[in-house]
Amino acid sequence: MSIIRIKNLRKSYGNNAVLKGIDLEVAAGQIIGYIGPNGAGKSTTIRILAGLDSQFEGDVEVLGYNVKDNPLEVKRRIGYIPEAAEIYEVLTPTEFYELVGGLQDLPWEITLKRARRLEDYLQLKYTDDQRIDTFSKGMKQKVLLISGLLHDPELIFLDEPLAGLDANSVIRVKELLQQLTERGKTIFYSSHIMEVVEKISDRIILLNNGTIAANGTFAEINAQAHSGSLENLFSELTGGGTAALDFDFTADE
Amino acid sequence: MNKLFLWLVGLLNPFWRKFGADPKAIKLILAAKLKMDDRSGLAMGGQRQQKKKGMEYLTYFFVGLFGLFLVFLFSVVEDTASAVGLGFCIWVCYIGLMLITEMSENLFDQRDLYVLLSRPINDYTLSISRILHITVFASKFGLCLGLPSFVYLGVTEGPWSAIAYFLVSVVAIVIIMTGTLVFYLVLLRKVPANRLKKIVGYFQIIAAFVFFTAYQLPSLLGDLDAIEGFILVDTAVGFSFPGLWLGGLFKAVTTTSLGWMAYAQAALALLAAGFGSWFYLKQSAGYSERLLSLKHAGSVDAHEEITATRKPGGRSPVRDRLARWFTRPNQERVSFNFHWNVMMRDMSFKQRTYPTLVYLPVILAITVFRDVITGEEDFSVGSGTMLMILYFLMWIVIIPLGQTKISENYRAAWIFDATPNAYPFRIVYGQVLAVIGMFYLPMAVLVYTSVFALQGLDFLPDIALASGGTLLFSFLYNLVDKGHPFSRAKDDSKFSNFGPFLLISFLGGMLSVGHWALRSLPYVIPVAAVVVWILLLAWVMVLRRKS
């Protein structure tokens, strides 16, 4: 069953076309690595899928709901963790979970229980009355991750979720994502860290210039390009090429 | 304008160099900062930059109007130097207040620290570029304030007076700038980094109150004819305030017949400007290091033990009790707690809200007690004044309510868009109730008790009508001023809630005038009170409905 169905998705900012007709279907229970160069339209796609942007052309269905017509139904069922998102830092994490849980219409007892379990799992430690503005970047990222998972969403959109996390936390988050897919959840994962995407993704979608340049398992895509690694594959498919070895930016001075 | 300012700064390059700063770096930093100032930030969820020039020009227009009012001083006070001195006293209050409440934050700005400090830039370059950046704003305000007086003096006293006024204005800006900012630099040096933000925040609130009260004092002078013969400059009184020293300086450069006291006041003005500049530069040593420690103050490091003493949050018996009384345990309470917590802890909210809350009591007190202070009449509080006090409570709700839409952390409001937020009315209800609980309730208890004490129980229907109207208009204001909580940038929102504010001011004003006019008619006030309360309760029921 397709959990995401996109037909001819187009999006422009003024005269600048960001998405130029994307067609995509994603089955449930997978980790989808969504990669592409800067400005390719990854975050825009995710915002549209998460029901945050209704100014687009084409048909987009998430979990059987048209995101333009039923954004609330979509938001009830998905988790969205944007890149470098700000949070209300004068609150304590518990107060922030109370807000997010409330907006998700989740009973407080459940919110708190799930938050504590996730905090234990991600090894997020703080005192009861400690505010988020005293946290390190990695601790804030953990709060953000936890708040996006509180309502046990069926589909989770993650935009650079490992930013700011230390090595141990990265391992924990990767394990958590695997466990979530084992429970039937779908992860839509956008990142620039190719090693991680290559390792954890069941399927990789490469976006370039607003169109899908590759779509399949790493083995399937690599069979076409024979690049050996996702990094090389990415470079080949997005026209990055290999930099000249004798490049000197101070030449001719 | 920016290019002109950069050119003027360039003229002083030898001076900057003499103090150990790098003139080229100063110019580059300033050019970048001014360019950024001209471009507004993005609103939460927005994709395009919004034009803010129109609002900026409108602000300057109003400052210019105020400057026009200063010309009035020349027709009231016969002695030109004293009029100039009084005008500069107002300058000192006005620009000083603006620097304290708005621009001084730039002195502590740490956002560009890593960009700048990773380059070969010393403390003096950094601190001079900061004060010059602030000077641009102060100069723009000074220009608008001073232009009408400049033209007036040029026409009535001749071109030299106008030029002298301009030169004295420059000295005035230097005195105000250094006088205000040196204090902050000293604080930066002496106060521990983790306490500095709090101290500065509360200082700004208190300073705003003091300045505003000082601002109102002229209205207590009573008859304007009494100040016609005022001679402040070149007398002992002229030593009392920096604005009057500047009047002495003006006199010293425009007339030849002056006493030693005018010379002394002129010397004081020049000394204050010179000493202020020197002291500012002297305090700049270690500036970047202190800013860095300010940036890291309160953050958790991996090796640091987590203690329970840091920035407490969480427990609040008053909040919890009010929440239990006024909200249901759903999104209403979530919203109530959220707004209460942010309002209690966000220093920028306090800085924006508390001074404006103070203005109205000051105006009210001056209105009520003016006649007693000026000796024109004995103290008495009539029913009109009582009604004014009752309706004044409307601002106690509406001002903070407007501020719950604004935040420096406005980008965090993405959470309201990214979640279903299926009961937005409950969020609105919790928001209004949190503001009522924190601001209106304590004041209402105080005011209503005083009114009962002074007027007796006969005033009960009036209180019922005024309180119902106040609460109804508070909900109405939040209905008109849409937007997620704390979702607007401070810079982009200066006039965004102006329309709803004007509308509620107008409607609230109409209600209060109507209340006063119809008071003599029998039964009208009790009936009106019942109608208003029915409307209020009906609206509350709509907000709190199940779906």
B341–A contact, CB cutoff 8 A? yes
Residue A128 with chain B: CB contacts under 8 Å: 308, 314
Interchain contact A98–B (C-beta under 8 A): yes
Q: How far is CA B39 from CA B34, B42, B380, in A?
A: 9, 9, 53
Pick B420's closest partner by Cβ from A72, A131, A139: A72
Contact check, Cβ <8 Å, B314/A72: no
At B213 the pLDDT is 73
What is the spatial distance between Cα B163 and Cα B496, in angstroms, rounded to a whole number?
Answer: 39
Q: Find the Cα–Cα–Cα–Cα dihedral B307, B312, B314, B319, rounded to 10°.
A: 160
Q: Are B299 and A136 in contact (CB < 8 Å)?
A: yes
Q: How far is it, in rounded angstroms, from Cα B412 to Cα A86?
A: 5
Q: How far is A183 from chain B (nearest CA, A)?
A: 22
Sorting pLDDT into bands at 50, 70 and 90, what band is B306?
A: very low
**A chain contacts of residue B414, beta-carbon cutoff 8 Å:** 52, 82, 85-86
- Alpha-carbon span A37 to B324, nearest angstrom: 51
Give pLDDT, residue B48. Answer: 45
Which residues is A156 bridged to in the sheet?
A: A79, A187
CA distance, residue A130 to nearest chain B CA (Å): 6
Within 8 A of B331 by CB-CB distance, chain A residues are 102-103, 105
Confidence of residue A19 (pLDDT cuts 50, 70, 90): very high
- Residue B468 near residue B536, CB atoms below 8 Å: yes
Nearest by CB to residue A134, choosing from B300, B329, B415, is B300
Of A72, A91, A134, the CB nearest to B298: A134
Residue of B nearest to A12 (CA): B47
pLDDT of residue B377: 63
CB-based contact, A75 to chain B, within 8 Å: yes
pLDDT number for residue B46: 45
* Chain B residue with the nearest C-alpha to that of A86: B412
Q: Which residues of A touch B486 (CB under 8 A)?
A: 88
- Structure tokens of B533? 């309360």
The pLDDT tens digits of the residues spanning B8-40 come to 999 999 988 988 899 999 999 988 888 887 765
* Cα(A243)–Cα(B482) distance, integer angstroms: 52
* B182-193 per-position pLDDT tens digit: 888 888 888 887
Within an 8 Å CB–CB cutoff, is residue A195 touching chain B? no
B492-519 per-position pLDDT tens digit: 555 566 677 777 878 888 888 899 888 8
Question: How far apart are alpha carbons B420 and B416 in whole angstroms?
Answer: 8
Over residues A197-209, the pLDDT tens digits come to: 888 899 999 998 8
Each residue of A61-78: pLDDT tens digit?
999 999 999 999 999 999
Please state which of the ranges A8-17, A141-150, B357-366, B425-434 shows the lowest mean pLDDT: B357-366
- Is residue B301 scored above 70 in pLDDT? no
Q: Which of B45, B306, B345 lies nearest to residue A127, judging by beta carbons?
A: B306
**Distance between B183 CA and the closest CA of chain A, angstroms:** 27
The runs of H, that is alpha helices, within B491-523 are 498-518
**pLDDT at res. B437:** 96
Say if the Cβ atoms of A100 and B419 lie within 8 Å.
Answer: yes
Q: How far is B477 from chain A (nearest CA, A)?
A: 23
pLDDT at B43: 42
Asked which of A155-164, A244-253, B19-28 is least confident by mean pLDDT, the reply is A244-253
Q: What is the pLDDT of residue B95?
A: 85
| Residues in A touching B328 (Cβ below 8 Å) | none
Q: CB contact, 8 Å: A239 with chain B?
A: no
- Interface check for A83 against chain B (CB to CB < 8 A): the answer is no
- Chain A residue nearest residue B338, CA to CA: A99
For residues B337-343, give the mean pLDDT. 95
> Is this complex's ipTM strictly greater than 0.90?
no
- Taking only the tens place, the pLDDT of each residue in B40-84 is 544 444 444 455 566 677 778 888 888 898 898 888 888 889 999
pLDDT at B312 over 50: no
Q: Do A125 and B47 touch (CB under 8 A)?
A: no
In our burial notation (b when 16+ CB lie closer than 10 A, e otherwise), range B259-276 reads eebbebbbebbbebbeeb
The shortest CB-CB distance from B314 to any of A73, A89, A129 is to A129
Tell me if chain B has a CB within 8 Å of the CB of A91: yes
Q: What pLDDT was estimated at residue B495?
A: 53
Least confident among A43-57, B182-196, B449-463 = B182-196
- Arithmetic mean of pLDDT over chain B: 83
Neighbouring C-beta atoms of residue A154, cutoff 10 Å: 19
- Please answer yes or no on whether B412 and A103 come within 8 Å at the CB atom: no
Do B411 and A90 lie within an 8 Å CB cutoff? no
Phi/psi for B158 (5° steps) reads 105, 165
What average pLDDT is seen over chain A? 89
Do B313 and A133 lie within an 8 Å CB cutoff? no
Say whether pLDDT at B173 is over 90: yes
Instruction: List strands edge to edge, sheet with A203-208.
Output: A78-81, A155-159, A186-190, A31-35, A203-208, A211-216
Show the DSSP H helices in B158-192 as ranges.
159-190
CB B180 within 8 A of CB B105: no
Q: Is A69 exposed, middle or buried (0-12, 13-18, 19+ CB in 10 A)?
A: exposed
CA distance, residue B340 to nearest chain A CA (Å): 10
Question: What does the pLDDT read at residue B304?
Answer: 45
CB–CB of A105 and B422 under 8 A? yes
Cβ of B334 and A99 within 8 Å?
yes
Closest C-alpha to B253, from B344, B366, B163: B163
Q: Which residues of A touch B310 (CB under 8 A)?
A: 127, 130-131, 134
Is B415's CB within 8 Å of A91's CB? no
Q: Across the interface, which of A86, A108, A129 has its CB nearest the CB of B411?
A: A86
B222 confidence band (pLDDT: 50, 70, 90): low
- Evaluate if pTM is beyond 0.80: no
Do residue A90 and residue B345 have CB atoms under 8 angstroms apart? Answer: yes
Residue-wise pLDDT tens digits, B411-436: 999 999 999 988 899 999 999 999 99
Residue A104 CB-density burial (10 A; 0-12 exposed, 13-18 middle, 19+ buried): buried
pLDDT at residue B340 is higher than 80: yes
